[in-house]
């Protein structure tokens, strides 16, 4: 058990190392990091100081380790636009993003999992078909199209809700709805197939053949087993809380991390992009780690054999 968790933590650390390496390689390939991070208008003495501080005159492997050191100390460069530390800019946008993604996460789970479970238990029924059609639509309609359709109907045609901005809670309704609908569809489809797979297993048939009431078969055998794959996708969704709203924030002019990222990419504000990249990686790795730990409790078999899976 201890070993299972140790391996998981080691892998999480390795992922972070890979992301930092990715950032380092991309940064070095794209030109002079000093110019990239500080911007072309930076005074030469600042550039020189930066090069010295980041050891840009050292051999490449030394730079690589220094880069790790700098990141570990939270030195992530300054924004090209207003010279503020990138980390500050990113951190102050997080509450706005969470104001969208947390409620959306709640709605996804509250809609998607019951809908998927119900559809699986009533396979072939009208509701099953409706859930599946909605789920397919949720996959094929991109979020920006869904967002614009919602704006067209509820803001332009009906005039009930504002189409963009962050002035009141009413401004959050359409972005949250966009995020929730797409996510709920994915989750419903996933839950349904996980549930169907479990329901097809011999132990379910055995349990119901033995005369265990169907309700009890579902609640005490099927649901716990179907929960295991569902937890994975939930973990992935938790990981996207910080940066899962890139498109939606842009459509609704919502000042969150995603919009900051899009603006930073358009302006090639590399310090900010790098900072968001690392932050997202941290979030993903942390949520994956939590999922792995949950797995450990949900499925005791994994603890003994699944360390490399």
Partner 1 sequence: MSPPLVEVSAISRTYAMRSGMFGRAAAVHAVDGVSLTIARGQTLGLVGESGSGKSTTGRIVLGLEPPDSGEVRFDGKPMAAPGTTAWRAQRARMQMIFQDPLGALDRRLPVAAQIREPLDIHDIGTPAVREERVRELLRAVELTPAHGARYPGALSGGQRQRIVLARALATKPDFLVCDEPVSALDVSIQAQVVNLLCDLQAQLSLTLLFISHDLRVVRQISNVVAVMYLGRIVEIGSADDLFARPEHPYTQALVSASPAPGRRSAGRIVLSGDPPNPAARPAGCAFHPRCPSAIARCKSEVPALETVGGDRQVACHLVTGAATRDAA
Partner 2 sequence: MTDATLKDTAVRRRISLPAIPVSVALAIAWIVAMLVIAAFAEKIAPYGFTQLDLRNRLAAPGNAAHWLGTDELGRDVLSRLLVSIRISLLIAFGATAISAVAGTTLGFLAAHFRGAVEQLVLMLSDFQASMPFLIMALAVLAFFGNSLPLLIGLMGLFGWERYARIARGLAISANAQGYAAAVRQLGATPSRIYLRHILPNIASTLIVSTTLVFPEVILMESGLSFLGLGVQPPMTSLGNMVGYGREYLTRAPWIMLAPATTIVVTTLAVSVIGDWLRDRLDPTLQ
Contacting residues toward partner 2, per CB under 8 A: 11, 14-15, 18-19, 22-23, 26-27, 29-30, 36, 136, 139-145, 148-149, 151-152, 156, 193, 197, 239-240, 243-244, 246-247, 250-251, 261-262, 264-266, 268-270, 273-274, 276-277, 280-281, 284-285, 288
Closest separation between CB of residue 85 and partner 2, Å?
A: 18
Q: Are residues 198 and 218 in contact, defined by beta-carbon separation less than 8 angstroms?
A: no
Closest separation between CB of residue 197 and partner 2, Å?
A: 7
Q: Is 266 or 309 the residue whose CB approaches partner 1 more closely?
A: 309
Task: List the one residue out of 247, 238, 243 whose CA is nearest residue 19.
Answer: 243
CA neighbours closer than 13 Å in the CB half-sphere of residue 223: 11
- Per-position DSSP letters for 204-265, written without gaps between them: HHHHHHTT--HHHHIIIIIHHHHHHHHHHHHHHHHHTTTTTTHHHHHHTT--SHHHHHHHHH
Judged by beta carbon distances under 5 to 8 A according to partner kind, the member of partner 1, partner 2, none in contact with residue 291 is: none
Burial class (CB in 10 A: 0-12, 13-18, 19+), 216: exposed
3 state SS of 41: coil
Closest separation between CB of residue 269 and partner 2, Å?
A: 8
Closest separation between CB of residue 47 and partner 2, Å?
A: 19
Go through the chain and tell me how many residues it has: 309
Q: Is 49 or 302 the residue whose CB approaches partner 1 more closely?
A: 302
Closest separation between CB of residue 308 and partner 1, Å?
A: 7
Q: Which residues bind partner 1 (CB under 8 A)?
A: 3, 304-308
Q: Is 128 or 269 the residue whose CB approaches partner 2 more closely?
A: 269
Judged by beta carbon distances under 5 to 8 A according to partner kind, the member of partner 2, partner 1, none in contact with residue 3 is: partner 1
Task: List the one residue out of 146, 113, 143, 109 whose CA is nearest residue 131.
Answer: 113
Structure tokens at 308: 């490399």
Residue 186 to residue 172: CA distance in whole angstroms: 22
Judged by beta carbon distances under 5 to 8 A according to partner kind, the member of partner 1, partner 2, none in contact with residue 198 is: none
Q: Is 3 or 170 the residue whose CB approaches partner 1 more closely?
A: 3
Judged by beta carbon distances under 5 to 8 A according to partner kind, the member of partner 2, partner 1, none in contact with residue 288 is: partner 2
Residue 188 to residue 138: CA distance in whole angstroms: 10
Q: Are residues 296 and 302 in contact, defined by beta-carbon separation less than 8 angstroms?
A: yes
Burial class (CB in 10 A: 0-12, 13-18, 19+), 89: buried
Q: Is 1 or 158 the residue whose CB approaches partner 1 more closely?
A: 1
Judged by beta carbon distances under 5 to 8 A according to partner kind, the member of partner 2, partner 1, none in contact with residue 178 is: none
Judged by beta carbon distances under 5 to 8 A according to partner kind, the member of partner 2, partner 1, none in contact with residue 306 is: partner 1
């Amino acid at each position: 058990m201890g070993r299972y968790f140790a391996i998981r933590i080691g892998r999480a650390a390795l992922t972070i190392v890979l992301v930092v390496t990715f950032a380092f390689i991309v940064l070095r390939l794209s030109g002079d990091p000093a110019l990239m991070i500080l911007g072309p208008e930076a005074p030469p003495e600042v550039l020189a100081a930066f090069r010295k501080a980041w050891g840009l005159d050292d051999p490449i492997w030394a730079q690589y380790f220094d880069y790790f050191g700098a990141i570990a100390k939270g030195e992530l460069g300054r924004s090209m636009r207003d010279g503020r530390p990138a980390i500050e800019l990113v951190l102050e946008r997080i509450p706005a993003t969470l104001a969208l993604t947390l409620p959306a996460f709640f709605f996804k789970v509250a809609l998607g999992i019951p809908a998927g479970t119900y559809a699986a238990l009533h396979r072939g029924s009208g509701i099953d078909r409706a859930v599946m059609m909605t789920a397919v639509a949720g996959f094929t309609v991109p979020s920006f199209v869904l967002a614009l359709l919602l704006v067209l109907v509820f803001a332009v045609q009906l005039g009930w809700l504002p189409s963009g901005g962050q002035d009141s809670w009413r401004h959050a309704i359409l972005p949250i709805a966009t995020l929730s609908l797409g996510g709920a569809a994915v989750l419903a489809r996933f839950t349904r197939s996980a549930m169907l797979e479990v329901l097809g297993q011999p132990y379910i048939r055995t349990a119901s053949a033995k005369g265990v009431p169907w309700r009890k078969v579902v609640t005490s055998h099927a649901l716990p087993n179907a929960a295991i794959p569902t937890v994975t996708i939930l973990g992935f969704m938790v990981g996207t809380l910080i940066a899962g709203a890139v498109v939606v924030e842009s459509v609704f002019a919502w000042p969150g991390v995603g919009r900051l990222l899009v603006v930073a990419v358009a302006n090639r504000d590399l310090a900010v992009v790098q900072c968001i990249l690392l932050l997202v990686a941290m979030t993903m790795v942390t949520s994956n780690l939590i999922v792995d730990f949950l797995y450990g409790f949900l499925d005791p078999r994994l603890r003994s054999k699944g360390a490399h899976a």
